[in-house]
Every structure is written in C-alpha cells, then in structure tokens.
Amino acid sequence: MSGVRAAVAPGPGGILVRAGVFAYVGLLVALPLAALLATGLAPGLIALWQAVSAPAAADALVLTLTTANVMALINAVTGTATAWVLVRYDFRGRDLLSGLVDLPFAIPTLVTGVMLVLLFGPQSVIGGWLARQGTQVAYATPSILLALLFITVPFVVRAVEPVLMEQDPAEEEAARTLGAGTFTILRRILLPALAPAIISGTIRSYARALGEFGSIVVVSGNIPYKTLTAPIYVFGEIESGRAEVAAAVSAVLLAVALALTLAARVIERLAGVTRG
C-alpha cells in the first residue's frame, strides 16, 4: 500500500496532546494575528487604502519592496552558487563556510545592525574612505540592502542543498553520453530540478526581508522618504499612538507575507521537496 499512508490511530493521550497543541497554537499564534488583521481591516477597505497610500507609507512600502527585489535576485544567484560549492566540491574550509552560512540564524538582527554601523559608519575605516569617495553606506539605502543580504543568506542555500544532494548523477551521466556539454546539462537537467527549491527559498527570503526591523532600524538612519522601510514606518505609527494606521499597513504586509509563504509551500509540495 505504498501511496496510502497508514495512520496509527492515537490513543486518548495522543488526542489530548493534539488538542493541547491546537489550543497553544490557537492562543499564541492565531489569536494575535487575527486581532491584527481584524483591527487593520475593520475601518474598511477605503481606510485601508488611505493608510497605505499616505505618502510616507507608500514610499516606505515601495522602498521595502524594491530592496527586497534586489536582494531576492542576488540571493537566487549567490545562494545557488553557494549550495553548489558546498555540495559538489570538497575543499579545505568547506565546513567553516557551511557554518558561516548559518550565522544569520544565530545572531540577533540588532547586533547585525550594530556590526554594519561599526563597519560602514562614518567613524569606521571603510565608512570614512567611502565618504571621501562621495558614497555613503551607513544611514543610506545601500545599508538596507546589505542588512537584508546578511540576514537572508541561509534561505536559498539551505533550500537548494538537499535537492542538490539528492540529484542522481546518472541523469547527468546519461546526458553526457548523449553528447551534452556542461552548459546544456546545467540548463536542461540541473536548473529544472533545482528551480522549485531556488524559487521557494527565494520566496521565503523575500517574506523574511519584508518584515526585517532590528538590523535596518540601527543602520539605515530611518530617514522618511529616503531610508524608512515599511516595518519601521509601522513602528513609528505605533510609537505615535496611531495603532489603527499601524494595523492597516501591517495587515497589508501580513497578507503579502502569508501569500508568499503559502506560495512557497505549494511549490515545495508540488516539487516533492521535503525540506522548505
């Protein structure tokens, strides 16, 4: 009965645990998010639109999306390359490199921001040099991109790695015996196999980037209409006591993040990817 998963019916203990987990998730996760969505949508769609299209808000949203777009593009390429190098090659320091990839999951985002300030801030060596060249990284848009790139490194890499490891070398060997060159093999065999993982990993990194707060709030300067991203805009609105506006913009961001996560899951399931 290969295709049909047999379920060992859980006893009363199992049902209790299941109910407990449901209750926990319901109260901890579903309830607050429901409150957020409800508060954001309650004043109606027109109010929602007004909140979102307010100049500062709209600008913040555009900035968030733009930086995320660039980040996603870069990640798709570099993440795949990194996964390739970690899986297909063996070299001194490979394990160290793999450990480095996990760094963003271990380090607080705020500390990331601090590190970027130390690295690119006006007091720093690099920051001073850049200022003399006329460019600015800290307290300017490039810092946002760098922060996003930092925190999203693991997403595409870890999504592509398992797929690459499972890749059957026989397919590539067969292609070679039929006369295919390396580029063709990459294009027609490997890329299609890796595409779902690359895409879902990129989507997840995108969703993560949309909500990034800690690193950006420290290093970007939070200049409205210049370096103020959507989450920081929301923060500002909360601090100013305008919770409804904050909720409205949050509802939009949440909806986008939800849609992205769902999309990633669907892609993963369709492609039979086990880890996401």
Partner 1 sequence: MGSREPTRHLGPGQWLLVGAVVLYLGAILALPLVAIFAHALEAGVGPLLQTFDDPLARHGLWLSLVLALIALLANGAVGVGGALVLPRHRFLGRRLLDALVDLPLAVSPVMTGLAFLLVFGRGGWLEPALAAGDWKVTFAFPGLVLATLFVTFPFTLREVGYVLEELGTEEEEAAATLGASSWQTFWRVTLPNIRYGLGYGVILTTARALGEFGAVLVLGGAISGRTQTATTFIYNALEERQEPAAYGVALVLALASILLLAALEWLKRQRRKEI
Partner 2 sequence: MSIRVTNLTKKFNGFTAVDGVSLGVDSGELVAFLGPSGSGKSTILRIIAGLEAADAGEVWLEGERTDHLHARARGVGFVFQHYALFRHMTVAENIGFGLAVQGAARPRRRRRVQELLELMGLQGFGGRYPAQLSGGQRQRVALARALAPEPKVLLLDEPFGAVDAKVREELRHWLRRLHDEVQVTSIFVTHDQEEAFSVADRVMVINRGRLEQAGSPAEILDNPGTEFVARFIGEANVFEARVHDGQARIGALAVAVAGFAEDTPVAIVVRHYDLKFWCEDDGGCATVVRMTRLGDRVKVEAAIDGAGPIFSQFPRRSSLLHGIEPGCRIHIEVTLARTYPRSTGGVSDPARSANS
Q: Which residues bind partner 2 (CB under 8 A)?
A: 1-2, 4, 6, 8-9, 11
CB-based burial label for 84 (10 Å; 0-12, 13-18, 19+):
middle
Asked if 204 contacts 260 with a C-beta cutoff of 8 angstroms, the reply is: yes
Q: Of partner 1, partner 2, none, which one does residue 118 interact with (CB within 5 to 8 Å by kind)?
A: partner 1
Are residues 181 and 189 in contact, defined by beta-carbon separation less than 8 angstroms?
no
Region 6-65 residues binding partner 1, contact defined as CB under 8 A = 7-8, 10-11, 13-14, 17-18, 20-22, 24-25, 28-33, 35-36, 39
Q: How far is CA 77 from the centre of its chain?
A: 15
Report how far residue 77's alpha carbon sits from residue 100's, in angstroms, rounded to the nearest whole number: 18
- Interface with partner 1 includes 90 (CB under 8 A)? yes
State the minimum distance, in angstroms, from the CB of residue 158 to partner 1: 12
CA 245 to chain centre: 25
Alpha-carbon span 110 to 121, nearest angstrom: 15
Minimum CB separation of residue 168 from partner 2 in Å reads 21
- What is the amino acid identity at position 196? P
* Interface with partner 1 (CB under 8 A), residue from 48, 68, 201, 212: 212
Which of 76, 84, 136, 271 touches partner 1 (CB under 8 A)?
84
Q: Are 79 and 156 in contact (CB under 8 A)?
A: yes
The nearest distance, CB 18 to partner 2, in angstroms, is: 17
CB of 225 to partner 1, least distance (A): 19
Map the footprint of partner 1 across residues 136-195, applying CB under 8 A.
146, 149-150, 153, 165-170
Nearer to partner 1, 8 or 178 (CB): 8
